[in-house]
Amino acid sequence: MSSKDIKSKINGGYPLHTFEDIKDIYSLYIEDKKSRDLIEKAYNYALKKHEGVYRNTGEEYIHHPLEVAYILAKLHVGPITISSGFLHDVVEDTDTSIETIAKEFGKEVASLVDALTKIQRLKLSHDQGKINFTAEDHKKIFLGMSKDIRVIIVKLADRLHNMRTAEGLSTERIERLSQETLEVFVPIAHRLGLYTIQSELEDLSLKYLRPEIYHHIEEMLNKKMKYRKKSLDSLMKRIADMLFEKHIPFEITSRVKSIYSIYKKLYLKGHTFDEIYDVLAIRIITDTELRCYEIIGLIHAIYKPIPGRFKDYIAVPKANMYQSLHSSIISGAGDFFEVQVRTKEMNEIAETGVAAHWKYKEGSKSSRKKEQKEIESKLHWFRDFVAMSADNSDDAKNYMDNLRHDIFESSVYVLTPLGKVIDLPSGATPIDFAYKIHTKVGDSAVGAIVNNIMVPLNTVLKSGDVCEIKTSTNSSGPNEGWLKIAKTTSALSHIRKALLKKTASLLKEEKIIKGKETLRESFKEIGFSDDEMISHISNKNILEKFECQNVDDLYIKVHNRAVGPKQIIDFLGLKSKQGYEIKLDKIHDTNDSSPVIVGNETKIATTLGNCCSPIPGDDIVGYITKGKGVTIHRIDCPNITRDRKRLIEASWREDLPTKNYPVDIEIKATDRSNLLTDIMGVISQHNVPISAISAHLHNETQTTTFTATIHVSDSKRLHDIFNVILNVRGVYEVDRIIH
């Protein structure tokens, strides 16, 4: 049909369908009167609402919802979905509200129409303003679609009809529509296995974007068909004869590779036309799986198969549920043909994917939730898709990249020992595999057995590998190295979470040790030994008084400064065993080992307080301890206020050699991915060593507190690095810690 012919533009040159045509189709599988009435009501409602409006291609507007509903009915979807197809533009284009739809057609139809309207609105705002679709826009479309698989199916039918009839639009809009179709709708149709829709969308996009290439391929195909027709016919006849002889039920057809898939082979993969073995294929449909293998065996006995071209997608289905046997053979005339053998069910799935699996079954009691669950378990990627879409923290660009990488481009199919297929992106390892099975399997993985051989966790998996994960309850769990091995976003985020949890529990151990140390110092000051301290505090009264389960809890409370050592000592009624005497130890051997001048003395042994870690530049004060000389604290350290008598003036020496001092800091930030990496990054970029870092997640507030020990020469430098850290996105507070 020529595009110059104005009449051919009506409905893009496609035949127009009437409501009766649609009714003929759905009446075959929907018998319930209520359901049929709902569809009819939806049609009449749309008819009335869109009355008097015409499309760019010249026909009345109602033909758009009619064609969308026709495409849907062909997929054998249920009454709710067909009705939504009729009503999908009513809220957006007429004065109808979503509440009215809910009242007239029920909540389910309304929620589908609402989701479709939102996607449409987004596109409109884009059409009027921005030139390019941003990642943010695409993310919103996917978010809208991830809620209900039926939204995707209606949206795909809508897009397909709009693409068929795009000729009425401006060149610029056609291009944008085609580009978006290839970027957003084709990948999702592919992953849902809606092959018929996918390939029509691809061919139309190519036709609009690169008409010369499209027509060139079309021409080559026609030539090839003409030339091969005879050889194809005789091949089909011979196979049919043979199958008939053997009493094998079959149906045999031929199929031509789609223009877009030829385009991909020619232009994106650099093949020549003659190198494409599967331009022409013979498809044999039979009744059982076993027959499929029998048929392919019989064919291989007559025609020579091309080595390396046999593919068993029955044993290893594709991620979109596609199943079939493929083989390329050389015909008697020396031509290459692809042979595809599958059952009737497999063929339906090959053509309409998820829709075939989810075909409307009258009277089936399965609920929406159950259906969505079933889909998610059959199409395991869909579960990842929903999870990824639900996690709103990622920015749009990341989301789209992850979607593309983890979901649309996954290409390795690995089997569990029980034969379940797990799809992974190329380069994925047993760690990715383990996390796809279950977070717990990932977290406790210790090794992997691939095809019966024990392999290291960084082994790259290939399609068809059978992988078994060895787990252990004694596993130390994920480590930093796993971040380099894992390829999928979901595994990476689980590993990061596990690592943070681990540091948080390490933190607990540390707190016990530090709290104990603090308490021990206070007991020592009043002349009590470790053992004496432990026997004093291990008493039930004291644990009860401070609301602790055990002594470790008490240490933690001391460390957190929820309970002071003095409170404990007072509660126990302990008195100092001896009066303390102030005796300062002089340094005799070297001149410069103390950085601090105490009183006017430069040669007094000093220790820097562990609690407040003073550094040059800080205002400081000395605290005279029993037996340990003078401890230097920051002037505002709460640990020194107890006993004013023991304080002594102190200041930093002015001729200090440059040296780094440890400082404990605390960073508070709102959660996001790569937060810790970014913080560590800027700290080390400024040549500040970090000797410890731990993280504490606060799930309720979606924030994280990091504690770190960094090494700096003085307070000025510390101040500078604080500013650098505060500039990291998400960080809202940085402080020194006083223990």
Known catalytic membership, residue 93 = yes
| Strands 596-598 and 620-624, sheet pairing | unpaired
Amino acid symbol at 499: L
337 close to 351: Cβ distance less than 8 angstroms: no
In angstroms, what is the minimal distance from the CB of 69 to Mn ion? 11
Stretch near Mn ion under the rule CB under 5 A, chosen from 81-89, 124-132, 396-404, 503-511: 81-89
Question: Binding segment for Mn ion among 89-97, 320-328, 336-344, 709-717 (CB under 5 A)?
Answer: 89-97
Q: Which stretch binds Mn ion (CB under 5 A): 3-11, 151-159, 387-395, 727-735?
A: 151-159
687: left (phi over 0), alpha (psi -120 to 50) or beta: left
- Please identify, among the stretches 154-162, 332-340, 625-633, 707-715, the one whose residues bind Mn ion according to the rule CB under 5 A: 154-162
Indicate the residue among 154 and 422 with the shorter CB distance to Mn ion: 154
Question: Smallest gap, in angstroms, from Cβ of residue 17 to Mn ion?
Answer: 15
Report the first-to-last Cα separation within the chain, whole angstroms: 83
Interface mask toward Mn ion for 370-389; x: CB under 5 A: --------------------
- Which part of the chain contacts Mn ion (CB under 5 A), choosing from 85-93, 451-459, 507-515, 706-714? 85-93
Please report the DSSP string for 374-411 in residue order.
Answer: HHHHHSHHHHHHHHHHH-TTS-HHHHHHHIIIIIIT--
Q: Confirm whether 37 is a catalytic residue.
A: no
CB of 88 to Mn ion, least distance (A): 5
| CA distances from residue 1 to 10, 13, 164, 539 in whole angstroms, order as listed | 12, 7, 13, 95
- How many angstroms from the chain centroid is the CA of residue 411? 16
Q: Tell me the C-alpha distance between 415 and 157, whole Å.
A: 33
> Shortest gap between Cβ of 149 and Mn ion (angstroms)?
18
Only one of the segments 155-163, 213-221, 388-396, 635-643 lies at the binding site for Mn ion (rule: CB under 5 A); that segment is 155-163
Smallest separation, CB 21 to Mn ion (Å): 19
* Closest CB 147 distance from Mn ion, rounded Å: 19
Distance CA 718, CA 134 (A): 41
Name the minimum Å distance from CB 274 to Mn ion: 42
Buried/exposed code over 204-220 (b: 16+ C-beta within 10 A; e: otherwise): bbbbbbeeebbeebeee
Residue placing its CB nearer to Mn ion in the complex, 74 or 520? 74
Contacting residues for 508 by C-beta, under 8 A, at least 6 apart: 556
Give the list of residues 6+ apart from residue 513 with CB closer than 8 angstroms, or none. 555
DSSP state letter for 72: H
From 59, 67, 89, 278, residue interacting with Mn ion (rule: CB under 5 A): 89
Is residue 678 a contact partner of residue 629, using CB atoms and an 8 Å limit?
no
CB of 698 to Mn ion, least distance (A): 45
The C-alpha angle 55, 60, 64, rounded to 5 degrees, equals 70
Burial 637-666 (b: 16+ CB within 10 A, else e): bebbeeeeebbbebebeeeeeeeebebbbe
Please identify which of the residues 93, 183, 312, 335 carries the catalytic annotation: 93
Active-site annotation holder among 92, 351, 553, 666: 92
- Number of residues forming the site for Mn ion (CB under 5 A): 2
For Mn ion, which residue has the nearest CB? 158
Contact between 67 and Mn ion by CB under 5 A: the answer reads no
Cβ closest to Mn ion, residue 90 vs residue 149: 90
SS3 604: strand
- State the burial class of residue 65 (Cβ atoms within 10 Å of its Cβ: 0-12, 13-18, 19+): buried
Nearest to 347 by CA among 186, 149, 196: 196
Binding track, positions 157-186, relative to Mn ion; x by CB under 5 A? -x----------------------------
Binding residues for Mn ion, rule: CB under 5 A, are 89, 158
Q: Active-site residues: which are they? A: 92-93
